[in-house]
Amino acid sequence: MGVVGGFVLNLTPCVLPVIPIKVLTISKHAGHPRRSAYLGAWMSLGVVAFWSGIGLPVALFASVTDPSRIFGVWWVTLGIGVLIGVMGVGIMGAFSISLPQKAYALSPKADSAWGSFLFGVMTAVLGLPCFGFVAGALAGAATLPAATIMVIFTSLGVGMALPYMVLALRPQWISKIPRTGPASELVKQVMGLLLLAAAAYFVGAGIGAILKSDPVRAAALPAWVKAWHWWAIAAFAVAAGGWLAFRTVQITRSAGRRACFGGLGVIFAAVAVLIAVNRTAKILDDFWQPFTQETYQRAIDEGHVVVVDFTADWCLNCQALKAAVLDRDPVKSALRAGGVVPLVADCTSLNAPGWDKLRDLGQTGIPLLLVDGPHTSQPWMANAYTSSQVTEAIPDGRRSGRETASR
């Protein structure tokens, strides 16, 4: 997905017009097809290095600090959402975003490996006014493992560098590059709407942090309050898909392109609605009880196995694990079985009681799943897990004298 996203960036008005110019510059300095490929490879490495360089601070931040604590501050998460929303509106044309003029004056000479490398770096830099989605990518990636962050951003670089590498090998294909116009503007508009969808995600998480600071009050919230931001996300995603389909029909007479991009827009909108419906259905069918230390201890004292899911609205890993493991059989059936008490420690707010429990367990962040029982001397814990691991850990909580491993 990172490679695909990076490739799509080349279709924006900030980048598309300069692709032929950059490739012809490389070819002019090369003078020979083999050297053109050599310099093109170095230019492509420069593009990849730029995106890896953006991801590196985020990866270092995620590895040396606990991003959970940052996103647990409601005004930080809310502020990130507002910033992403402003970027989205700007990309769609409400206002222009440009770099300082000195940045446009920098033009490394692409007649050597190092010069071509810097040429590639500057090519990526000058496209930044059209790359507002980076704000959403940076915020969303901060809660992921450092290695995953680097894979995502390096993949973005590979996707963006791909046309330069191909055209350096085959300069005669430059004539096939589409011209800037309504289609490239459409790419920006769709990206802007998707940024607004990302903004709705973080704004919803920020508001959720306020509403969920008290677990008792959070449990009493009506379902529509818990689900509203999923429908806001879906609304912007539907707008993006619908606008893509509508404008494609207007822009081109080609039946193939209309079917391809129009169909893609319809599918995208339909998937967004299905996700919102699915999330709402799970909220209505939520069998998880709110975590408090008193509820936890009472369940243990009564001889039950306790399963605690430490999660948060802004935690992408948490949402993915819940959808892939906890909300599906056989784990879902095991959680509903007699003698098992599933608790959700919603850590969206820093004031949530789940944070105190995490400290007691010697854990610093989420996601985390805990399985404990009256006869276990050590609870089973995992930050990442499979269905089989969870179903095996739940019966262990019922076995007298069994010490389960902490993972």
332 by Cβ neighbours in 10 Å (0-12 / 13-18 / 19+) ranks as middle
Separation of alpha carbons 24 and 30, rounded Å: 10
Q: Considering only CA atoms, which of 333, 205, 227, 331 is closest in space to residue 281?
A: 227
pLDDT value of residue 2: 87
Strands (E), 252-386: 289-290, 305-311, 340-346, 368-372, 380-382
Query: How far is residue 351 from each of residues 72, 261, 285, measured CA to CA in Å?
Result: 9, 46, 26
CA distances from 314 to 142, 144, 205 (A): 11, 11, 6
Q: Which two tokens stand for residue 136?
A: 């959403």
CATH class of domain segment(s) 289-396: alpha beta
pLDDT at 314: 85
Tell me, what's the pLDDT at 386? Answer: 94
* pLDDT for res 64: 66
The pLDDT, as a whole number, for residue 67 is 66
pTM here is: 0.76
Of 393, 405, 282, 294, which Cα lies nearest the Cα of 343?
A: 294
* Spatial distance between the Cα atoms of 309 and 327, rounded to a whole number of angstroms: 12
Query: Domain limits of the chain?
Result: 2-179, 289-396
Residue 402 has a pLDDT of 39
pLDDT in tens, the chain (407 residues): 889 888 988 888 778 888 888 888 888 887 788 888 899 999 999 999 999 999 898 888 777 666 667 777 888 888 888 988 988 888 887 777 666 766 656 667 778 889 899 988 988 888 877 776 676 677 767 767 788 889 999 999 999 999 999 998 888 888 888 777 888 889 889 988 998 998 999 899 889 888 877 766 776 778 788 889 999 999 999 999 999 999 999 999 899 989 999 999 999 899 999 999 988 988 888 889 989 999 999 999 999 999 999 999 888 888 889 989 999 999 999 999 889 999 999 988 888 889 999 999 998 788 999 999 887 778 999 999 999 999 999 876 555 443 434 43
- What type of residue is 1? M
Backbone angles phi and psi of 273, in degrees to 5: -65, -40
